[in-house]
């Protein structure tokens, strides 16, 4: 019960308003490296649970000071996809920081106020001045590598116009998933449970934040960013910056 309570606290703290990092101390990091057999099993699970035609999706390269991350944008979240593409074309994300990192959970960016922000400044409240209506789809869920929109605490669960996060995630035991279903009123399919148990993610966020894409290359960079030293606001002590974002396909 204590672990699930900590997940609920973390869920609340992914909103724009930052919280003290001691709220997240119980969040566990992903498991260590796997054997070849385990990697093959995970690949099968991921492929069987992915309902998107990955080859046809728009691909975006996020170049950071710690390495490159390539993502795809889902077609079934058209408002988020169109908005993200427009921001990229306008160079909106250039010089924006990753302002919140929680190892075993997620890395968050997209706050324009982070550009040139002095060390120690609390970030996470900035945006383009508009929100995007929620676009929830059962096949889009918070598996490891998911790209989702941050938001403030609004009843409609409308997304920030620019802030997003990438799920670093951790693996969940079957009994933990059952507890999340019971306590938070969620339902996971067998395929989703298999991913959360074998690959990892942040299942407690499903149905509350719009997932609009996923990482296809560069999860090692996501892990590296998530593991950096941070201050009490979960901001990296050394700035981690987006150099530029490019539509590649």
Enter the tokens of residue 237. 């002590």
What contacts 43, CB < 8 A, 6 or more positions away?
Answer: none
Token readout for 235 is 């901001």
Residue 45: pLDDT above 70?
Answer: no
Report the share of the chain in percent with pLDDT over 70. Answer: 79
Q: Which has the higher per-residue pLDDT, 145 or 33? A: 145
Which range, of 37-41, 83-87, 131-135, 173-177, averages the lowest pLDDT? 37-41
Q: Report, as an integer, the average pLDDT of 181-188.
A: 93
What value does the mean pLDDT take over residues 175-183? 96
Q: Are 60 and 72 in contact (CB under 8 A)?
A: yes
Question: Residue 209 has which token pair?
Answer: 């934040």
Q: Where are the domains of the chain?
A: 2-247
Confidence of residue 52 (pLDDT cuts 50, 70, 90): low
- With a cut of 60, say whether residue 62 has pLDDT above it: yes
Residue 188 binned pLDDT confidence (cut-offs 50, 70, 90): very high
Q: Which has the higher per-residue pLDDT, 4 or 145? A: 145
171-178 CB contacts, 8 Å cutoff, 24+ apart: 171/30, 171/31, 171/196, 171/197, 171/198, 171/199, 171/200, 172/196, 172/197, 172/200, 172/201, 172/203, 173/197, 176/3, 176/4, 177/203
For residue 49, is pLDDT > 70? no
At 3, the pLDDT band (50, 70, 90 cuts) reads very low
Tell me the C-alpha distance between 63 and 217, whole Å.
12
CA 40 to chain centre: 24
Strand, coil or helix: 152:
coil
The pLDDT, as a whole number, for residue 249 is: 75
**Dist. CA 117–CA 120, nearest whole Å:** 8
| Mean pLDDT, range 45-69, rounded to an integer | 81
In this predicted structure, which of 4-8, 234-238, 240-244 has the lowest mean pLDDT?
Answer: 4-8
The Cα 146–Cα 154 span in angstroms is 22
- Ramachandran quadrant class, 105 (left: phi over 0; alpha: psi -120 to 50; beta: rest): alpha
CATH architecture of 2-247: Beta Barrel (2.40)
Q: Three-state DSSP class for 184?
A: helix
**What would the pLDDT profile of 193-236 be if each residue is shown by its tens digit?**
999 999 999 999 999 999 999 999 999 999 999 999 999 999 99
pLDDT band at 38, cuts 50/70/90?
Answer: very low
Q: Given a cut of 60, is residue 185 above it in pLDDT?
A: yes
How large a percentage of the chain has pLDDT more than 90?
A: 74
Note whether 195 and 45 are within 8 A (CB).
yes
């Amino acid at each position: 019960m204590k672990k699930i309570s900590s997940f609920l606290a973390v869920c609340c703290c992914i909103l724009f308003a930052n919280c003290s990092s001691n709220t997240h101390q119980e969040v566990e990091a992903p498991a260590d490296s796997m054997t070849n057999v385990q990697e093959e099993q995970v690949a099968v699970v991921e492929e069987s649970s992915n309902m998107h035609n990955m080859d046809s999706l728009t691909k975006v390269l996020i170049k950071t000071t710690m390495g490159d991350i390539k993502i795809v944008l889902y077609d079934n979240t058209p408002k988020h996809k169109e908005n993200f593409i427009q921001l990229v074309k306008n160079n909106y994300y250039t010089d924006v920081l990753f302002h919140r990192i929680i190892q075993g959970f997620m890395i968050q960016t997209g706050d324009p106020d982070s550009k040139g922000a002095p060390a120690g400044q609390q970030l996470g409240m900035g945006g383009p001045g508009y929100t995007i209506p929620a676009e929830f789809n059962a096949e889009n869920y918070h598996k490891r590598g998911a790209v989702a929109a941050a938001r403030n605490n609004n009843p409609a669960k409308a997304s920030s116009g620019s802030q997003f996060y990438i799920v670093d995630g951790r693996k969940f035991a079957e009994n933990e998933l059952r507890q999340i279903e019971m306590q938070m009123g969620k339902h996971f399919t067998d395929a989703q449970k298999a991913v959360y148990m074998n690959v990892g993610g942040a299942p407690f966020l499903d149905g509350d934040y719009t997932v609009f894409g996923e990482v296809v290359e560069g999860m090692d960079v996501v892990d590296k960013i998530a593991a950096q030293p941070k201050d009490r606001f979960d901001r990296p002590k050394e700035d981690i910056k987006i150099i530029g974002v490019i539509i590649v396909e």
